[in-house]
Amino acid sequence: MRTVATTPAFARRWRGAAAFAVALLCAPGARATVYKCEGPAGTPVYQDSPCPPGKELRDFDKDPPTVSVMPLAPGPLPGTTTTQTLPPPASKAKNVSRARISMTPVGKASERKFIVPGINEGEVIARIGQPDVKSGGGRKISRWSYLPTSDDPRTLTTLTFEHGRLIEVERKIVK
């Protein structure tokens, strides 16, 4: 015996009503706003409910944040940048050759011009020392920057590593 709750027409109506209720909840007017309020000791607190009287620092609906767009600078002047890049590996075979570590003192900035793609991070540190700036996510791709020094004046050296192996050397003349 069939009841009204098990008929296909009732199920369609029930699904339609549920979809309508979800649509009402997700309507553009039902969005949350963010308030910036003064918290304990004057620290800012972000919340979804209005601030107590006298504690409101910013209502993002009434005062939205500005967006800054910075144009990219034109490329470097001719003759001020040199780049060396390794060609992609020919095969998946591992390169088993061992590089010899230079016997120069650790951190000698004048050695920066002799760094070439193909060596590993350890050899770079042994030749020219730790970088001034490191960036990059994880071990896959990382970028090291060496700022100008008295041994290597007016030159910014940027090294790009992939899986610990140097793949690109870029030297820029800074003024």
How far, in Å, CA of 38 to CA of 55, rounded?
5
Average pLDDT, the chain: 74
Share of the chain above pLDDT 90, in %: 4
**Which residue is listed with tokens 């209502």?**
59
| CATH for the stretch 81-87+101-173 | 3.30.1450.10
Asked if residue 30 has pLDDT above 60, the reply is: no
Each domain of the chain, given as residue ranges in start order, spans 31-64, 81-87+101-173
Task: Give the residue-averaged pLDDT of 7-26.
Answer: 64
Q: In angstroms, how far is the first alpha carbon of the chain from the final one? A: 90
Torsion over CA: 163, 165, 170, 175 (sign): positive
State yes or no: pLDDT of 100 exceeds 50: no
Looking at the predicted structure, is the pLDDT value of residue 163 above 80?
yes
pTM over 0.75: no
Burial annotation 133-166 (CB, 10 A radius, 16+ → b, else e): eeeeeeeeebebebebeeebeebbbbbbbeeeeb
pLDDT score of 36: 85
CA distance 36 to 54: 12
- pLDDT tens track for 102-150: 443 456 777 888 888 999 988 998 889 888 888 876 668 889 999 888 8
Percent of the chain as helix, strand, coil, to the nearest 5:
25, 25, 50
pLDDT for the residue 105: 41
